[in-house]
Structure 1
Amino acid sequence: MTASGRSAALYRTVWRWHFWAGLIVAPFLLVLATTGAIYLFNDELNDAVYPELRFVPPAARTVPVSRMIGAALTAHPGAVSRVDLPAAPDRPAVVFVAPAGGGEPLRVSVDPGSGRVLGSLVYARTLVAWAEELHGSLMIGTVGDRIVELAACWTLVLLVTGAILWCPRGRWRAAGVLWPRLTGTGRRFWRELHGPVGLWTGALIGFLILTGLPWAGVSGDLLQRGSAALGVGYPASFRTHAAPESLPMKTALGTAPWTLEAAPMPRSHAGHAGHEAPLPTDDAGAIAGVDRVTALLAAEGMTGGYRLFLPGDATGVYTAYTYPDRPEGQRTIYVDRYRFARIGPEVRFADYGWVGRATELGVQIHMGNYFGRANQLLMLVPCVGIWLLVVSGVAMWWKRRPRGRVGAPPPISGTRFAGLVAALAVAGAVLPLFGASLLVLGAADLLAGMWRGRVGDAAASGIG
C-alpha cells in the first residue's frame, strides 16, 4: 500500500471509530451535559426554589447544637445522623433526620440564632438531587453507573479521533476549521460548525471526563485502591484504624471527601465491634454529647462550615470534616464518643498523597466551585459544546445516510495500524471497563467478518 493509500485507509478507519462511538454515546452525552450544567448552579437553584429554608437573619450568638437537633426531632420525630453547621452567618444549620414512621430522609433547616425550625425537605425530590442522580447513575443504580463510565471512556475515543479528523488535509481555510462558517447550508453547515466547536471545547470536555472518572464505580475504585496501596492516596495514619475490620469512611457515613472514601474509620473504645454501616441515632447521650464535641472542635479552630456525623452504634465516633470549595481547606477530625477526645491526628489536605490532592482539586474545578462564578461559567462551556457537537454530529449523519440504512463508514479489510492498536491496548488496561468493551466489540467484529465471508462464499458458489 502506498503512503497516500495508507493515509487514506487510516483516515477511513478513524472515521469509522468516530462514527460508531459518537452514535452510541450521543444520548448519554446529552444527559451528562444537561444534568452537569444544572448541578454547576446547585446552590443558586436551591436558593431560588427554597429561600425560606436557605437563609436566616444573622445572629451574634448561636444556640447549642444539641438544641438545634432537639428542635428538629421535636418537629420531625425520628433519628439523626448528621448536622451541617453553616459557614456564613446568614445560612441555617441542616439536621439530617430519618423519620420514626419510616419514609424518605429529611433535611431539616434550623435557625442557629434562635433554634427555630424553618422547615424541611426530601432532598431526593429536588431538581438538584434529580440532576445529581441522573448524572452519576442514570437513576438505575450500579448498572447506570457502569453505563455512564463506559460513555465517558468512549467520549475520550471521540475526542482523539475527532482531533485526527479535524486536522486539515491539503489546502485549508481558517473559516470552517478554526471558527464556524455559518453561511453554508445542509450538511456543510453542520460540518463547519462541528469541527471548530470541537477544537475550542475539546480540551475542556476531556478535562471533565478525566476529573469525573474518579467517581466511577470501576475506574474510581481502582484509582482509590491503587493510590492507597502506593501511599499516594489517603494518609498513612489511617492504616492504624484496624483495617480491614473497620468500615470505609464512605460506607460508614454515606459521604466523604474523595480521598478518604475508602479510608478505614476509627472506633470508639467501648462495646463490641460492629460490621454494619451505623444507623441514624436517637441515643440521647450521643445527641447531648454533641455540645462537648463542638466545643472541642472550636478549640481546634473548627467553628463552622463543617459536617458533623453522630455515632450510630456503641463503637461509632463523632466525625467532623470540612468540604470547602477550595480543597486546600479540607480538615477531618474524629472524636471518641466516650472520652470526648480526638482519635488520632487531625487530617488535612496537606496530609493527602499527590493523587488524592490532584483528584480533590480536579473535583472542585469540575463542579465549578474552585474560583467562583468564573469557574461555573468555564465549566458551562464544555456542556454547551457537547450539546452543539451532538446536534451537529447527528445532523451530519442524518443528512448523509442512505434511506432506510445506518450509513456507517464501511470497514477496510487488511489494514493494520500498530500505533492505534497499541494506544487502545494501553487505554483498555488503564480503564478496565473500556478494555472489556473493546474485547466485546472485537469479538463481535470478528464474528461479523466471518459471517460476511460465509455469505460472500455462498453467493460466489451460487448456493442459496
Structure 2
Amino acid sequence: MRDAVWSATAFYRAVWRWHFYAGLVCAPFLVILAVTGAIYLFNDEINDLVYPNLRLVPASATEIPLSEIARAAAASVPGGTVTRIDTPTAAGRSVQVFVAPPSGAPLRVFVDPGSGKVLGSYVYTHTLVGFADVAHGSLMLGPLGDAVVELAACWGFILTVTGLFLWWPRGGKPPLFRPRSGLRKRAFWKDWHSAVGFWSALLVLFLILTGLPWAGIWGDLLRAGADVAGIGYPATFRTHGATLQSHLTIKEASDGAAPWTLENEPAPSSQAADPHAHHHGTAPAPRAAGTPQPIGLDAAAQVIADAGMSAPYRLSLPRDALGTYIAFVYPDQPEGQRTLYIDQYSGQVLGDIGFGDYGPMAKAVELGVQLHMGNYFGLPNQLVMLLPCLAIVFLCISGPIMWWRRRPAGRLGAPKPIARPTLRVLALIVLALCLVFPLAGVSLIAVLGLDLLAGRIAEGLGPVA
C-alpha cells in the first residue's frame, strides 16, 4: 500500500514537472500561434477594413474577359508574369491577380472585373493578414520555423493532456469547474488557470490536431500514410492519364491554392507538349513549326464553364511548356471542392476531381481544415475558434505568473527531479502518446535523458538502477 501511495504521488509530481518545463519553453510560441491564428480567423473582415479600395468595387452586370484582366495586371508590374487569377467571391468584389515581377516578392494586383481598372497591389507578407498567415505556419523562418511550430504544437497537445491530469481532483476533493471568489495572488491565478484550462481543453486539442496536417513532417507523414492506405488522394488520379509529368507539385504550380489533399501530388502535363521543351527546370526551347499553340486564357475559361465549374474559382496558369491550367473551387464547406486540369494546347480536361473522390482520411482533414480556419459555419465558427485562441493566451500568461509568485528568491523553483522508477513509467506513457508526433518524440527522448541526468546529479551521481 505504501508503494502504491508513493508511486501515485511520485507520478503526479512527474507530470507536474513535465507540465512546468513544457509550459515555460512552449508558452511564447503558443502565444504567437494563438494570436496569429486569431487574426487569420477574421482575414476577410480585416482586409476589407484595411483595403476597401482594393477589394470592393461597384457591382457590374457584365465582366470583361480574363485575358484583359490579366493584361492590365501584368502591365501594372513592368516585366511581370501572371501566375494565378482568383475570380470575385461575390458581386461587388475585385479580381485578385498574382503577378511575379522580374525580381523581388510576388505581388497581388486587384482589378475591377467590370471596367478592367487596376485598383492597386500589395505584397501579401507585408500585410497584417499575410504576416499572420506566414508567421502562423513558419514564424517567417521557412522550413526551420515550420519545424519549430510543429514542435510547439505537439508539445501544446502534451501540455493540454498533462494539464487535464493535474486538474483532476485528488484526495476526495470536488472538481474545480469555476474559480472560487475572494482569492488573491497566486491562488487567484491558479483557480483561473485551472478553470480556463478545463473548459478550453477540447477546443485546444481540436485546434492542434486540425492544424498539424499543415506541418512539414507530421502532415507529410499523414498524407503519405493515407495515400498508401487508400484513404487519401485516389491513386487513379495521380497520373491524370499523362505520359509526361511536370517537375512541379500541384502546390507549386498553383501558388499554394491547392487543397491539402492534392498539394503534394505531381502536377499533370499538357499532352501536346514537345517532350524536349523542358528538362530539369531549364527554360523551354522554341516550339517547332506546326506544333499546337496554347489555347489562351479566355478559351481555358470557356472550358471551365463548359465543364460546369462556375465562379468563384482560383485559376493557375501554365508555368512552362509542360504546364496545365489548374482551376480550383475551394468553398468554405469542403463538400463543394472541385479541381480541373486543362491541357494548355488542346483544351482537353485531363483531370476532374471532386470531394467525393477523396478517401475518408482526406475528407476528414479537409473538413477539419475549414473548421480550424473558422470557415464552415461562418461567424459562429469564427467565434467558437476564437475562444481557444484567447484561452491559450491566458493560460500562457497565467502559468508563468503562478510560477513567478511561488518560486523561491534567486531559484528556478521547478518541481523536484523525477525518481528513476517513475521516470521509466512516465517515459513509456509519454512516448506512447508521442508515437503520433515524431518530432515531439525525438525532442522527448533528449529531454528525458537530460532529466535522468539531473536526477543523478541531485542524488550525488549515484549508480543508475
TM-score by length of 1: 0.92
Alignment of 1:131-142 (within 5 A): 131-142=132-143
Aligned-partner Cα distance in 2 for 1:245–1:335: 14
1:169/1:427 Cα in 2 relative to 1: closer, same or farther (>3 Å)?
A: closer
1:239-318 equivalent positions in 2, closer than 5 A: 239-241=238-240, 246-255=247-256, 256-269=258-271, 270-272=273-275, 274=278, 289-318=296-325
Following TM superposition, by how much is the alpha carbon of 1:5 offset from its aligned partner in structure 2, in angstroms?
2.2
- Quote the sequence identity (%): 52
Give me the whole-angstrom Cα distance separating, in 2, the residues matched to 1:286 and 1:374.
49
Which residue of structure 1 aligns with residue 342 of structure 2? 335
Matching residue of 2:114: 113
- Aligned 8 A contact 1:247 1:265 in 2: yes
Shift of 1:173: 4.6
Which deviations, in whole Å up to 9, do the C-alpha atoms of 1:129-165 show, x marking residues without a partner?
Answer: 1111111111111111111111111111111111111
- Once the two structures are superposed, residues 181-209 of structure 1 have per-residue CA deviations (whole angstroms, 9 ceiling, x without a partner) of 24201110001101110111010000000
TM-aligned CA distance change 1:214 to 1:277, over 3 Å: farther
Aligned twin of 1:413: 419
The match for 1:224 is: 223
1:103 positional shift = 2.3
Residues 72-87 of structure 1 mapped to structure 2, 5 A cutoff: 72-77=73-78, 78-87=80-89
Secondary structure (helix, strand or coil) at the match of 1:247 reads strand
More moved, 314-323 vs 162-171: 162-171
> 2:398 corresponds to which residue?
392
Residues 355-400 of structure 1: CA deviation (Å, up to 9, x unaligned): 1100010011001111000000000000111111111111110010
Distance between the aligned counterparts of 1:286 and 1:215, measured in 2?
A: 38
SS at match of 1:416: helix
**In the TM superposition, what whole-angstrom CA distance separates every residue of 1:238-274 from its partner, at most 9, and x where no partner exists?**
2324698753211333311100011221101212364
One-letter amino acid of the structure 2 residue matched with residue 157 of structure 1: I
Return the letter of the residue paired with 2:81. A
| Deviation, structure 1 residue 449 | 3.8
The SS at the match of 2:108 is strand
> 1:275 deviation in Å?
5.9
After superposition, give the CA deviation of every residue in 1:11-39 in whole Å (9 maximum; x if it has no partner).
11111111111111111111111111111
For 1:373, the equivalent position in structure 2 comes to 379
Could you tell me how far 1:170 is from its partner in structure 2?
A: 2.7
When the two chains are superposed, the root-mean-square deviation of aligned CA atoms in Å is 2.3
1:110-189 to 2 correspondences below 5 Å: 110-173=111-174, 177-189=176-188
Question: Aligned in 2, Cα 1:391/1:329: closer, same or farther, shift over 3 Å?
Answer: same
Partner of 1:91: 93
Q: Mark the CA change 1:286 to 1:54 in structure 2 (over 3 Å): closer, same or farther.
A: farther
Deviation of 1:294 (Å): 0.6
| CA–CA distance in structure 1, aligned partners of residues 88 and 293 of structure 2 | 21
Q: How does 1:31-110 map to 2 (within 5 A)?
A: 31-77=32-78, 78-100=80-102, 102-110=103-111
How many angstroms does 1:419 deviate by? 6.2
**1:346-357 residue pairs with structure 2 within 5 A?**
346-357=352-363
Matched with 1:402 is 408
State whether residues 22 and 158 of structure 1, in contact with CA within 8 Å, keep that contact through their aligned partners in structure 2. Answer: yes
Within 1, Cα distance between the matches of 2:293 and 2:274?
14
CA distance in structure 1 between the partners assigned to 2:282 and 2:148 by the alignment: 30
Which deviates further from its counterpart, 102-111 or 346-355?
102-111
Contact 2:94/2:111, CA 8 A, preserved across alignment: yes
Point out where structure 2 has 5 or more consecutive residues left out of the alignment. Answer: none
**1:22 equivalent in structure 2:** 23
Residue aligned with 1:259, SS: coil
> Judging changes above 3 Å, is the alpha-carbon distance between structure 1 residues 265 and 351 closer, same or farther for their aligned structure 2 residues?
same
Is the CA contact 2:317–2:324 (under 8 Å) kept in the aligned structure 1? yes
TM-score normalised according to structure 2 size? 0.91
Q: CA deviation at 1:278?
A: 9.9
Structure 1 residue 316, shift from structure 2 partner: 0.6
Partners of 1:251 and 1:277 within 8 A in 2:
no
| In 2, Cα distance between equivalents of 1:132 and 1:141 | 13
Report if aligned partners of 1:182, 1:193 keep a CA contact under 8 Å in 2: no
Whether the 8 Å CA contact 2:20–2:414 is kept in 1: the answer is yes
Q: Tell me how far 1:404 sits from its aligned partner.
A: 1.3
What amino acid does structure 2 have at the position aligned with 1:390?
Answer: C
Query: Does the CA contact (< 8 Å) of 2:84 and 2:314 recur in 1?
Result: yes
SS at match of 2:83: strand
Distance 1:98 1:245, change over 3 A: closer
Between stretches 134-143 and 237-246, larger displacement belongs to: 237-246
> 1:455 Cα shift?
5.4
Greater Cα shift, 442-451 or 67-76: 442-451
Once residues 280 and 92 of structure 2 are traced to their aligned partners in structure 1, the CA distance between those partners, rounded to angstroms, is 37
**198 and 442 in structure 1: CA distance in 2 versus 1, 3 angstrom threshold:** same
Partner of 1:446: 452
CA contact (8 A) 1:427 1:434 kept: no
The aligned residue for residue 460 of structure 1 is: none
Question: Structure 1 residues 414, 96: closer, same or farther in 2, change over 3 A?
Answer: closer
The whole-number CA distance in structure 1 between the counterparts of 2:454 and 2:196 is 35
Partner of 2:367: 361
TM-superposed deviation, 1:105: 1.3
Deviation at 1:452, TM superposition (A): 4.2
Aligned pair count?
450
> Equivalents in 2 of 1:130, 1:164: separation in Å?
36
Write the distance in 2 (CA, Å) between the matches of 1:278 and 1:334.
23
- Relative distance call for 1:287 and 1:128 in structure 2 (3 A) is farther
CA distance in 2 between partners of 1:171 and 1:446 (Å): 32
1:341 to partner: Cα distance: 1.2
